[in-house]
Chain A
Amino acid sequence: MSSRAHRLGVIFLFIFTVAAFGCASFQPRPMDQVPFKERAQTQQEGKIRVTAAVLSEEESQEIFDVPLYKKGIQPIWLEIENKKKVPLWFLPASVDRDYFSPLEVAFANHFGYSDTANKKMNRYFYERGMGMYIAPGEVRSGFVFSHLDEGTKTFNVEVLSADEDRTFTFFIPVPGLRVDHQEVDFETLYPKGEIVSHDEEGLRKALASLPCCVTSKDGKENGDPLNIVVIGDGKDVYHAFIRAGWDETETIYGASAIKTGISFIFGGRYRYSPVSGLYVYGRPQDIALQKARETIHERNHLRLWLTPMTFEGKSVWIGQISRDIGVRFTTKTIVTHKIDPDVDETRIFLVQDLLYSQGLAKVAHVKGVGAAPIAEPRGNLTGDPYFTDGLRAVMWVSSEPVSLEDFEWVDWEDPVQQLSTAK
């Protein structure tokens, strides 16, 4: 009897031990067993080499054994080689102005009751932080803990030495999102014979004669106005908008629908939520981008379609931008986003957004939308009213930063004269 009780006691003790320590063990995987470096990008300038990789959600979990993405933290692995004869200083704030410190990340992920595991975790994060000092001839690597961005992550790596400052800019795709524009085959959208190259006057006319608005799938109903034109190759468009803080958009598939549903019900943020299709050239948008707001759940949306035109060798895109200002109930789709009826205000926001992020080389205005005064607004496909001066903003975008001195106004239509029409 007593031996049975003893045995039971041992079993209980065993179970208790497993329960107490089993859950709270900190077991990161050795870094060389996680192949994230295969996706690393390298840049070399002068005698400085920078290699960078962004960890995916799974890779972060494996390497750090805690769900960093769930806390909004994204580790960036860096390796900096200094072939100079003087020391080099790396500034983690160049990667993310508000980066998380290693021990801060550890603290945010501490386990409930295991002091041992937490101490081990502190040490682990601390030792893997990227230091700031790279001695002459040294190669140094480690992690910077940044704020989470899915889709494409863009960041700078700035290094200082006694004789120079250098900035390396990275654009790194993060695995995990199925982004809409990756599913479009831009090469086969238009046969070669269909693409027209325009001079400036021809471009202006061609842009003014494009359809006023997006349509429904069958092309029978007009929706939101096509109030933006973007000129630049894929890389220019992509870099300019990503740098200005625009997020890419997931295509509609099972997982994205679930993520949208969860964020709608629980009010969380799903920055990459799929957007509905609007139609131009008989097809839905080629690219949809969205920009989240700081303090409210609403966001700005823009859609772009590649046109069969080029200007000075660059692609020309037609598009539409709207600012969501809340949700409302409709008979058609049950719930829809209410857009700001002052679509010109939203258009002006975008011009400033690209100007301040140095992605805008030139801007012009062209007719084509048709004016709708505030007293007689037009409606989009979900019945939201909008009013406009009837102009399109034409934006030449650049993948390289453009300073204000190099920025140009192109004197086509004058948006100032249109002001009285709309108001």
Chain B
Amino acid sequence: MKRQWLAISILCALMIHGCATATYNPRPLEEATFKSRAQTQEDRGIQVTAAVLSAEECKELFRLDLYKRGIQPIWLKIENNTKQLVAFLSYSVDSDYFSPLEVAYMHRSGFSKAARDQMDQYFNQHQMEVYIPPGSANSGFVFTNLNQGTKSFNVDVLGEDKDLRTFTFFVSVPGLRVSHSEVDFLSLYTKDEIVTYDEEGLRKALESLPCCATNEDGTEQGGPLNLVLIGEGEGDALHSALIRSGWAETEALSGKAATARDKPSVSGFKYAPVSPLYVYGRPQDAAFTKARKEIKGRSILRLWLAPMLFQGKTVWLGQVSRKVGVRSASRPDETYRIDADLDDTRGAFLQNLWYSQGLAKFGFVKGVGASSISEPRLDLKGDPYFTDGYRLVLWLSSTSRPVSRADVKQVEWERPDKR
């Protein structure tokens, strides 16, 4: 009997130790390929280079599945060509970043004591240091919370003289096939189809656009087209303003099952494909979402490129709605799947861009047609909605030129009902 126990405990001990990897062997940094995607920016003697590691690159370099735990490393190199000491503020990249030893501790299981110590050493030595003396360069990792699609972040570098330099990055992370990557925007319209408008012409053109998105064959009306977006400044103003306001890109509708399986559980819903609605006889060209943590639901933004130009800028027709829940078998009586108060959703969108300094100008035009809470209209799924009937037109600003809240201009077109 005693011997049996001894055998069992030896077996257990073997199993526990046998599985543990004896050493931690990350791949040498020189062999890593992610640096080929790095972006560099310079401002008054400070040069910042940044690269975001993909899920695969994390596995290759750290030999750990960091994405699975919702961790996304950013590699940074900061060169200080000024005459003063500067400090890199990791908080600017992600105010809820993971510390290097925290990341190591989260991944300790399966490693022997010696390997865990090696892992601690490795993460500690490869972190991005705070201080960069004059004439030198530092490089290392910051461990951020995971974003798929386009990752946007700041790198703040503070000088001894309190001179703050902010570098804003937009980095496309390999792995998610985003909705608008499938669209060939240049071939959507011929040159002759595109019309250039002045302000008054634009207003009229926007008013006479269809009220609503439709089903595929155009026979039934869906939710209203309550937004128009116009990019100000550089080319990607619209995209960068949306990303900076916390909107996430979504996966293309034809997304393969494989990408869904690779998707980490912490972020699944946020990037899920958005169902198609039709304008100009085609589904949306791009879809963005903003997810909630506390309750089921996300806001959805669908965009279609219009055959219009205003002062050389492209014009996008859009729909914003707030999906507040899923009509399930256990709740067949649910009245709303989208928030019926569409103007509240539209107002939240306006404030969202205003607070994130992505808004340069806005105005309202007619074109949707009003419906009231007691006589709501229905969308394609039969969900009721009501609205004052106006379309919100927003001129978005690129992040290289954030607009302070006091400088946002309003175009004197329509005035929506006071509410």
The count of A-to-B residue pairs whose CB atoms sit within 8 angstroms is 154
Structural contact, A101 and B133, CB atoms closer than 8 A: no
Q: Give the Cβ gap from B199 to chain A, nearest Cβ, in Å.
A: 22
Give the most central of A73, A94, A101, A108: most B CB within 10 Å: A101
| Residues in A neighbouring B91, C-beta threshold 8 A | 349, 352-353, 355-356
Structural contact, B351 and A107, CB atoms closer than 8 A: no
Structural contact, B419 and A107, CB atoms closer than 8 A: no
The digit string for B321-354, where 1 denotes a CB below 8 A from any CB of A, is 0101100001111111001110011011001101
Given A72-B294, A126-B373: A356 and B344 within 8 A (CB)? no
Structural contact, B335 and A118, CB atoms closer than 8 A: yes
Structural contact, A101 and B106, CB atoms closer than 8 A: no
Interface-located stretch among B94-102, B201-209, B217-225, B394-402: B94-102
Given A102-B341, A416-B85: A340 and B99 within 8 A (CB)? yes
The digit string for A101-118, where 1 denotes a CB below 8 A from any CB of B, is 111100110101111001
How many residues of chain B are within 8 Å of chain A by beta carbon?
A: 59
Interface-located stretch among B6-14, B32-40, B123-131, B172-180: B123-131
Is B266 in contact with chain A by the CB < 8 A criterion? yes
CA A348 to CA B92, docked complex, whole Å? 13
Interface class of chain A by DSSP: mixed
Structural contact, A341 and B101, CB atoms closer than 8 A: yes
Is A346 in contact with chain B by the CB < 8 A criterion? yes
Considering only CB atoms, which chain B residue lies closest to A113 in the complex? B333
Structural contact, B96 and A72, CB atoms closer than 8 A: no
Is A141 in contact with chain B by the CB < 8 A criterion? no
Q: Give the Cβ gap from B66 to chain A, nearest Cβ, in Å.
A: 13
| Residues in B neighbouring A129, C-beta threshold 8 A | 344
CA A99 to CA B339, docked complex, whole Å? 14
| Residues in A neighbouring B295, C-beta threshold 8 A | 71-73, 100, 104, 108
Partner of B162, one of A348, A404, A423: A404
Is B89 in contact with chain A by the CB < 8 A criterion? yes
CA A326 to CA B106, docked complex, whole Å? 7
Structural contact, A91 and B351, CB atoms closer than 8 A: yes
| Residues in A neighbouring B322, C-beta threshold 8 A | 101, 104
CA A101 to CA B162, docked complex, whole Å? 41
Structural contact, A340 and B102, CB atoms closer than 8 A: yes
Structural contact, B355 and A97, CB atoms closer than 8 A: yes
| Residues in B neighbouring A114, C-beta threshold 8 A | 333
Structural contact, B99 and A345, CB atoms closer than 8 A: yes
CA A326 to CA B145, docked complex, whole Å? 17
**Residues of B85-133 whose CB lies within 8 A of A:** 85, 89-92, 95-96, 99-102, 105-106, 120, 124-125, 127, 129-131, 133
Structural contact, B348 and A101, CB atoms closer than 8 A: yes
Given A405-B162, A409-B160: A101 and B341 within 8 A (CB)? yes
Structural contact, A115 and B348, CB atoms closer than 8 A: no
- 6 cross-chain pairs, A with B, having the tightest CB-CB distances, nearest first: A352-B91, A93-B351, A72-B294, A133-B418, A325-B102, A107-B324
Chosen A-B contacts, 9 in total, with CB atoms closer than 8 Å, are A71-B295, A72-B295, A108-B324, A113-B332, A165-B406, A325-B101, A340-B101, A348-B90, A348-B130
- The residues of B with any CB-CB pair to A shorter than 8 Å are 69-70, 85, 89-92, 95-96, 99-102, 105-106, 120, 124-125, 127, 129-131, 133, 145, 160, 162, 164, 266, 292, 294-297, 322, 324-325, 330-336, 339-341, 344-345, 347-348, 351-352, 354-355, 373, 405-406, 418-419
